[in-house]
Amino acid sequence: MNEFDAQRREVIDIARRMTADGLVVGTSGNVSVRCGDLVAVTPSGVDYDDLVVDGIPLVDLDGTVVSGSLSPTSELPMHLTAYREHDAQAVVHTHSLYATALSLLRDDVPAVHYQLADFGGSVVVADYATFGSDRLAETMSEALEGRAGCILRNHGTVTIGKTLAQAYNRARQLEWLCQLWLTAAQVGTPRLLDDAELASAAKRFSTYGQSSR
């Protein structure tokens, strides 16, 4: 067994969850997790149901494939930028409907819910750039500054985390936040939380959950 098979298997599991949860259609979107100085990432244009552990590419932080029988996703520049510039340990990129719809209307996800505190505040919509391009990686990086996620205009979302499970949970939460705003905005002007309340929520999040014993 390869020493990174567990991470490669996790990439497959999360990729399939994206489809099951409706965050992607077909082979769109991509997932990666850092394995020391390497990154396990979904391949390009392969149905997620057909993925096998040996096919998941392992690349270094310069993008060179060091293992795996398939070519990495065309969005590899985005993933590597998140690792090099934002200290990510895992990256999830979706084509989720509500987040992409919001990106056509706004430049950010406003403070409609305290869950935004987990992202570091209001989530920014990155300027549009062609998929797979270095420019897209740049605009993503700008929007991701100080945040755990961003939206790519006319495209989808990117979320990062200390684990792949955390990054994926954030992708689901971000989609829900966008759906919440879009739903409320259909019937009126949503009332927003202020910066002080988001700061209070962020403090609570820092100690949220089960403490280690």
Q: Measured between alpha carbons, how far is 86 from 80 in angstroms, rounded to an integer?
A: 10
Q: Is 75 a catalytic residue?
A: yes
Which of 60, 97, 52 lies closest to 76, judged by CA?
Answer: 60
Q: Measured between alpha carbons, how far is 68 from 47 in angstroms, rounded to an integer?
A: 16
Strand partners, 126: 152
Would you state the torsion angle of the CA atoms of residues 102, 143, 113, 175, taken in this order, to the nearest 10 degrees? 50
**How many beta carbons lie within 10 A of that of residue 213, not counting itself?**
3
H or E element in which residue 146 lies: none
CB 143 within 8 A of CB 150: yes
The catalytic residue among 3, 75, 85, 138 is: 75
Give residue 14's identity as a one-letter amino acid code: I
Q: Measured between alpha carbons, how far is 55 from 17 in angstroms, rounded to an integer?
A: 18
Give me the count of residues in the chain: 213
Residues with a catalytic annotation lie at 75
